[in-house]
Chain A
Amino acid sequence: MSAVILAADDIQVAQNIGFGIIAAIMVIGALKVVTSKNVVHAALSLVLVLSGAAAQYILLGAEFVAVSQILVYVGAVMVLFLFGVMLTRAKLGKETDLDQPKAWLGVPVALLMLGVLAWVLIDGFQDERLPADATSKAAVEISDSVLGPALVPFLALTFVLVAAVIGGIVLARKD
């Protein structure tokens, strides 16, 4: 089945193989995040998943999104995670009490969500393809729209930051 798809004329074989490999790495990484007994290992597996997502964005020709993904998630968020682990827990080895006894309840919910969303996406986009010359001007377009039609959402982000900064002050201030 997959071989048939790969052999079709208008399919970019290299991209598809790349997609498959990265996707497999991401799935394994995601499983590791929830099954690992070691918090630091779980965090590092998450790095794998997030970098994989960035790689997929590059395959889609969205290099700006990919770079932001690396900067924000792999760079900032992960460092915060690791700092958080470092600063709050002395123990860095395996732990036994990480698993919730009712964790299995999440499995059917996750499978249901996966099924519905996968069906929705397949049904929604059916056999649409990215144009083969999708080497994008995405960064230029994004910067133009951020300073043009999307200026207001961009400025509204400052409201979010103001709220977050005030929140940080309130929570961190000593009496």
Chain B
Amino acid sequence: MIAALEGPPIGWFDLSPLLVLLGAALVMLVVGALLPRWPRGLYAAFTATAAGATMVLAMVLWDDVSDQGARYLVGDAVTLDGFSMFATIAIAATVLLACLVTDDYLRREQLDGPEVYALYLTAGIGGIVMAMANDLVVLFLGLEVLSLSFYVLAASHRRRSAGQESAIKYFVLGGFASAFFLYGAALVYGGTGSVRYDEIVAAVNTTLLVERKDALVLAGVALLIVGLAFKVSAVPFHFWAPDVYQGAPTPVTAFMASAGKIGAFAAMLRVLTEALPQWRDDWRPVVWTIAVATLAVGSILAVVQTNVKRMLAYSSISHAGFILVGVEAAGHTAGEADPSGGVAASMLYLLLYAVLVMGTFAVVSLVGRTGDDQTDLDGFRGLGRTRPALALGMTVLLLAQAGVPLTSGFVAKFGVISAAVDQRSYAIAIVAMLASVIAAFLYLRIMVSMWIVDAEAGDDAREAVRTPLSTSLAVVLSVGFTLVVGFAPGWIVSAAEHATTIATAVAP
């Protein structure tokens, strides 16, 4: 006799942020394929609406979670808690901003169509699944959804060979990194008998101390860190980032640098602090080393670039180093009832950086002009004269990336550094401060090019930088957010802390 199959309870409303994005992606594809071309801007507007709805739903669920406590969903595969809702809101925000930037870009390049937006939505789903996962297999699937979308997005401008080349590079190296991650998950499973975070933690008391499979788990942890460090482009797994960031269409680069980092870092934080807290004394020095190397290499190599997209790629590597400082701080107290501020500081950094980098690349996308190839420093020459408002916005964003006070970048950097100092990781805090001083030089170079460098013959013959409505809106939004958070950081700092305390309530 065949017993009736009982699936796990689903909790549809709890999954609604994901379902909205998935539904929107499918509608976009099916309806987009059946109907003739939608009126201008409608693809972007539809996607942005879905992203906005996801943010609202995530806030509702966040409220619900703070009343009723965090919980596991659908057969304990994903966690609904403040942490995952915070990441969801951040990723949805990047999707929304990316739509605003992409709409103008696609029309300028005469590529308008539904596919890119559908890929933004699936990438968003992947990132959210990574942040919510309570299971290494689910995490891997999220990682693959995110990565597959990125590979294709990098090649989505079919007439630019640079984009194709960067997509192939990203695809080959990314497939390699996914294999590392998967091998790591298999070894952790071999050592602990489970791929679920809570069961891995529980296994330490039974299997591990009795059967001594420490080496197996440690090798697994090492490979997991390799896989995730690749995705966040930490040194020495960063080689793909500059090429891919430079070759991909600029709005896509912005989306990769923001949504990709949020998803991968959220996954890294969850895996390290929730699944592997017992090995924190083993992985913390590794994270420390990677963080220092990332800060140094990212900041120093950023300064010597001449292409702004490449500079910003190295600067995003250096920002990854700052977030790793927060991860390292979280490592001191991982698994304890009263965690350090490292997790909250890292998540806050991710959100603030995502908005910043979106705005910055939005400006780069405008300065790239038709063809998206005037992204050398020379392309920015004279922007302060021809487009003062745009140059001013860019200046604010660059100052924020450098971590100047009264901008969100300062709040973010202050958060991770003070988290490190709280844990007496003075050395890494000092390295981080030095790195931000070095990196400041790079942002200055762009500002000098915009405001100070004299015009050269032929500058006036160049295509003028246009400021279409929706991209300008994206720049205004991110500059506004940057300044609001810079002047009044209290609310968002406490929101991040609130979110991450609900997360740790789940951990056993």
Contact = CB atoms under 8 A, between A and B. Distances in A.
A163 B215 contact: no
Most B CB atoms within 10 A — which of A120, A123, A157, A173?
A: A120
Interface in B359-397: none
A170 B115 contact: yes
B19 to A, nearest CB: 11
Interface of A: 116-117, 119-121, 123-125, 147-153, 156-157, 159-160, 162-164, 166-167, 169-171, 173, 175
B75 A149 contact: yes
28 contacts: A119-B215, A120-B219, A121-B216, A123-B216, A124-B191, A124-B213, A124-B216, A147-B7, A148-B7, A150-B137, A151-B7, A152-B74, A152-B138, A153-B135, A153-B137, A156-B129, A159-B22, A159-B125, A160-B141, A162-B22, A162-B25, A163-B126, A163-B149, A166-B115, A167-B148, A170-B115, A170-B116, A173-B115
B8 to A, nearest CB: 6
B118 interface: yes
SS class of chain A's interface: helix, strand, loop or mixed?
helix
B138 A166 contact: no
A170 B151 CA distance: 11
B119 A166 contact: yes
Contacts of B77: 152-153, 156
A175 B109 CA distance: 12
A126 B213 CA distance: 9
Contact of B145 (A119, A124, A125, A163): A163
Contacts of A156: 77, 129, 138, 141-142, 145
A148 B149 contact: no
B218 to A, nearest CB: 8
Most B CB atoms within 10 A — which of A117, A160, A164, A175?
A: A160
Contact of A170 (B5, B75, B137, B156): B156
A159 B152 contact: no
Interface string B118-153: 110011011001000001011001101100110110
Contact of B122 (A125, A147, A163, A175): A163
Nearest to A155: B74
Contacts of A124: 187, 190-191, 213, 215-216
A102 B155 CA distance: 28
B254 interface: no
Contacts of A148: 5-8, 75
Nearest to B215: A123
Contacts of A163: 119, 122-123, 126, 144-145, 148-149, 152
Interface string B10-34: 0000000000001001100100000
A117 B213 CA distance: 13
A157 B141 contact: yes
Nearest to B191: A124
Given A148-B8, A166-B115, A160 B148 contact: yes
Contacts of A121: 190, 216
A49 to B, nearest CB: 16
B462 interface: no
B80 interface: no
A152 B119 contact: no
Contacts of B190: 121, 124-125
Nearest to A117: B219
B219 A170 contact: no
A151 B215 CA distance: 31
Contacts of B115: 166, 169-170, 173
A166 B156 CA distance: 11
B144 A160 contact: yes
Contacts of A153: 77, 135, 137-138, 141
A166 B5 contact: no
Given A167-B149, A169-B115, 20 more contacts: A123-B215, A125-B213, A148-B7, A148-B8, A148-B75, A150-B75, A153-B137, A153-B141, A156-B77, A156-B138, A156-B141, A156-B142, A159-B122, A159-B141, A163-B148, A164-B148, A166-B25, A167-B152, A170-B152, A171-B155
